[in-house]
Structure 1
Amino acid sequence: LAAVMNAADGVAVAGAHGKTTTSAMISCIAAESGIDPTVIIGGEVSSLGGNARNGAGRFVVAEADESDGSFLKLYPYLAVVTNIEDDHLDHYGTEENIYQAFKQFVGNIKEGGKAVLCFDNAKVRRLAAETDKEVITYGVEGEGADYIARDISYGVDGTSYKLYYKGEFVTEVHLIVPGRHNVLNSMGAFAAAHEMGIATDKILASLKKFGGAKRRFETKGKVNGVWVVDDYAHHPTEIGVTLKAARQTKPERLLCVFQPHRYTRTKLLFSEFCECFKDCDELILTDIYAASEEAIPGVSSMHLAEGIKAATGQEVLYIGKLTKAEEYLERVVRPGDLVMTIGAGDVFKIGEELVRELERNAD
């Protein structure tokens, strides 16, 4: 990736959450605008025909993965940072080390390039103040950002908002993907695409039809009034944001199946996991997806279920095996339900099998 990006004008998107969707949005905008970018991202996008694209233009758009520090090998023309969070502590050790890695990543920007930074995140605001690179900022909450979204409207058909740049109205943006987090993702994509020289009307047209990346609020099916969605969220902040977006679609009930990812993450962020499922009407936990890790004594989904009950008073159902969780859902779902499978492992299989069973029963 570094060899490909560093030989071109790279657009690298980094952050604990949102980097796949933001890089996918930028990639779709660029590809549909005719500038023929090369694309390398971590999720499949139907309009791109996969997760990579070999272009002949000057730009290479890529997702920059901070998990093992390898994103520091990139020297982009544009660096987009969606947020900085306390993930991957098994690699970095401390939150300050994570921050310093992102600071170095932005410091790698080529001469004449810029950083596109989300002002809603406190650590990214600190980064904007401390870097000597030229900065473009965007946000929903904080005044002081260059790009600001106002008059946000959420509904079952998507999201819309008015975009301002340095206090001046620019345009109205319409999205079919739900949630406040996708407002931010689209703002980062808009700002980056504008710096790539892409016209506003082409940016808006691409954003309006962007249906999301695979495993990012991905609809698995809608059968007899039951909507089944899968999402890759595996960090507590990410989960909370995803469930809030799900709640904004106004389901009668929101049923969530969560498969924790890695014993180390479950242990290190246990307290945060206990607080992030409050938007669920019903929560089911399956066994931890080890991702090649050895089990840690005392760290389990059953222990996490007890922690969530103690912290929030929520009723949490522990069903270890995926097949058993699917069988339970098949018995209890009813029209108006939104069923979400959440996690970075193979929990998506539950939703796929549930859709198949619902379709068979509907015949």
Structure 2
Amino acid sequence: MAPAVPGAMERPHFIGIGGAGMSGIAKILARRGAKVAGSDAKESATAEALRALGVTVHIGHAAEHLADDATSVVVSSAIRADNPELVRAAELSVPVVHRSDALASLMTGLRSIAVAGTHGKTTTTSMLAVALTELGLDPSYAIGGDLDGPGTNARHGDGDIFVAEADESDRSFQKYDPEVAIVLNVELDHHANYASMDEIYESFETFAGKIVPGGTLVISADQAGAVELTAKVRDRSSVKIVTYGESEAADVRVHKITPRGLTSEVTVLLDGRLLTFTVSVPGRHYALNAVAALAAGVALGIPAHNLASAIGAYTGVKRRLQLKGEAAGVQVIDSYAHHPTEMTADLEAMRGAAAGSRLLVVFQPHLFSRTQELGTEMGQALALADASVVLDIYPAREDPIPGITSGLITDAARAAGADVTAVSDKAAVPEVVAGMAKPGDLVLTMGAGDVTDLGPDILARLSS
């Protein structure tokens, strides 16, 4: 039986309903019987999927899209104050609810797992969602990306477990009260919202402090920021801390990671016993994500050997090293990586999975603020590729910052010895890549913006 829909969520209107986080909440509410409506900037497969669930989706933003009987307007931090639907909500005195509050309301009364960290949240959340579903536990989940298997970013299940990706970018993860929280890593990012590592630590400490008494914090024993956070929250006696990783001090210790082409075999030492399982995506960082998922499931009381076997059913998330196709002997793969640590991890994973192949990258920087702070490190990461094409910055929610361009990245890449070509016209990229690629090469489209759209175009040009 579906949990009751909170009063404010009976007839919600979502501004930006096509977004990964927003659409997931809308889907779950629709499944629970709410009358859901919303608007988005353009048509998409997500909009069609929502309509199939009975959701009213308007294209474009206009005051008249907000129904007079709406019980709330749901927004994310990306929605600007002058949005006409938000202005209309104020005129009608319709309550405005942040996306994180809406998600928190969906988790009420369920055993929740909240997955946090600067990188790896979507993958780890997805691994848990797939594994718990495979075990017949029928979980609900809300993820920041579409699963390859179920083909959706959210699901309402009849089980008592809810798995949610917990976003630190705007501190919204502080709204949740999980039974189990995962912290994969703690690094400085989201520079428009955080001025220093001290602010990042403070935010993650608040998140950890929201774990219910008797709950569990699963946290990396390897990553420096996570280790520092562990030291800061260690005195919280009401919460059990379980560390995982390759460190000998880890509670769930990674004994060995063995690459096997596009998969990995992972052996962990858990409760004094060795446990070996398969992770069906390449790379050390994905293997460690799987170990975090394993530790979190065990903290909920799920037998480790059952969970480990079920994790092998996970085959990936769209945009997380997703194979888009092959043409003329060239494989095109899509990566969501947009932070230097993520870029390095995905490039190293592809190097390990396809030894002997040339690796070509089409990189689109995401956000002016991130490029301003981390452009040099992005350029250095691109030195791991054999050649790269760098596009203009994808602004997303930001206005330009004077003097900040993708030239910061190309300059740093060249200084690091990388072969880099700057291309401002996105439409010209397929032709540029076709002139670079040879049979046996791997082409990686990389970034959090619309660079993902180039995969099919590159494949079409290679086929011509």
Moved more, 256-265 or 188-197: 188-197
User: 2:219 is matched with which residue?
Assistant: 117
Query: Matched residue of 2:333: which SS?
Result: strand
Q: Is the 8 A contact 1:15 1:83 kept in 2?
A: yes
User: 1:78 is matched with which residue?
Assistant: 180
For residues 258 and 420 of structure 2, what CA distance do their matches in structure 1 show?
Answer: 32
Match status 1:187 vs 2:294: no
Query: Matched residue of 2:414: which SS?
Result: helix
CA deviation vs aligned residue, 1:88-134 (integer Å, no higher than 9, x gap) = 12102111101111011011000121001011111211222222121
Q: Is the 8 A contact 2:131 2:314 kept in 1?
A: no
User: 2:314 is matched with which residue?
Assistant: 210
For residues 311 and 291 of structure 2, what CA distance do their matches in structure 1 show?
Answer: 10
Aligned-residue offset at 1:323: 1.6
Q: Is the 8 A contact 1:14 1:65 kept in 2?
A: yes
User: 1:149 is matched with which residue?
Assistant: 254
User: 2:35 is matched with which residue?
Assistant: none
TM-score, with structure 1 as normaliser: 0.94
**Equivalent residue for 1:231, pick from 318, 335, 348:** 335
Query: Matched residue of 1:47: which SS?
Result: coil
Q: State, as a whole percentage, how many aligned pairs show the same letter.
A: 38
Q: Is the 8 A contact 2:115 2:181 kept in 1?
A: yes
Query: Matched residue of 1:296: which SS?
Result: coil
Counting matched residue pairs gives 357
User: 1:38 is matched with which residue?
Assistant: 140
Moved more, 315-324 or 98-107: 315-324
Q: Cα 1:22–1:119, aligned 2, differ >3 Å: closer, same or farther?
A: same
CA deviation vs aligned residue, 1:245-288 (integer Å, no higher than 9, x gap) = 01101142000111000111100112322322221000110111
User: 2:425 is matched with which residue?
Assistant: 321
Q: Is the 8 A contact 1:6 1:74 kept in 2?
A: no
CA deviation vs aligned residue, 1:212-232 (integer Å, no higher than 9, x gap) = 111111110123431111011
Deviating beyond 6 angstroms after TM superposition, the runs of 4 or more aligned structure 1 residues are none
Match status 1:51 vs 2:153: yes
User: 1:165 is matched with which residue?
Assistant: 270
Aligned-residue offset at 1:11: 0.3
Q: Is the 8 A contact 2:187 2:197 kept in 1?
A: yes
Moved more, 19-28 or 126-135: 126-135
Q: Is the 8 A contact 1:251 1:338 kept in 2?
A: no
For residues 448 and 231 of structure 2, what CA distance do their matches in structure 1 show?
Answer: 33
**Equivalent residue for 1:10, pick from 82, 105, 112:** 112
User: 1:243 is matched with which residue?
Assistant: 347
Aligned-residue offset at 1:32: 1.3
User: 1:178 is matched with which residue?
Assistant: 282
For residues 6 and 87 of structure 1, what CA distance do their matches in structure 2 show?
Answer: 29
**2:218 corresponds to which letter in structure 1?**
V
For residues 150 and 217 of structure 2, what CA distance do their matches in structure 1 show?
Answer: 25
User: 1:199 is matched with which residue?
Assistant: 303
For residues 212 and 115 of structure 1, what CA distance do their matches in structure 2 show?
Answer: 25
Q: Cα 1:204–1:356, aligned 2, differ >3 Å: closer, same or farther?
A: farther
For residues 204 and 315 of structure 2, what CA distance do their matches in structure 1 show?
Answer: 29
**1:302 corresponds to which letter in structure 2?**
G
Q: Is the 8 A contact 1:259 1:286 kept in 2?
A: yes
**1:59 corresponds to which letter in structure 2?**
I
Q: Cα 1:276–1:157, aligned 2, differ >3 Å: closer, same or farther?
A: closer
**Equivalent residue for 2:388, pick from 268, 283, 301:** 283
**Equivalent residue for 2:196, pick from 94, 105, 117:** 94
Q: Is the 8 A contact 1:6 1:76 kept in 2?
A: no
CA deviation vs aligned residue, 1:305-342 (integer Å, no higher than 9, x gap) = 122212x1222110112221111112221121111011
Query: Matched residue of 1:275: which SS?
Result: helix
For residues 273 and 217 of structure 2, what CA distance do their matches in structure 1 show?
Answer: 22
Q: Is the 8 A contact 2:383 2:419 kept in 1?
A: no
RMSD between superposed Cα atoms in Å: 1.5
User: 1:301 is matched with which residue?
Assistant: 406
| Greater Rg by CA | 2
Unaligned runs of at least 5 residues, structure 1: none
Q: Is the 8 A contact 2:131 2:313 kept in 1?
A: no
Query: Matched residue of 1:48: which SS?
Result: coil
Query: Matched residue of 2:143: which SS?
Result: strand
Q: Is the 8 A contact 1:228 1:339 kept in 2?
A: yes
Q: Which has the higher contact order (CA 8 A, sep 6+)?
A: 1
Unaligned runs of at least 5 residues, structure 2: 1-102
For residues 334 and 200 of structure 1, what CA distance do their matches in structure 2 show?
Answer: 45
Query: Matched residue of 1:50: which SS?
Result: coil
Match status 1:129 vs 2:231: yes
For residues 356 and 313 of structure 1, what CA distance do their matches in structure 2 show?
Answer: 31
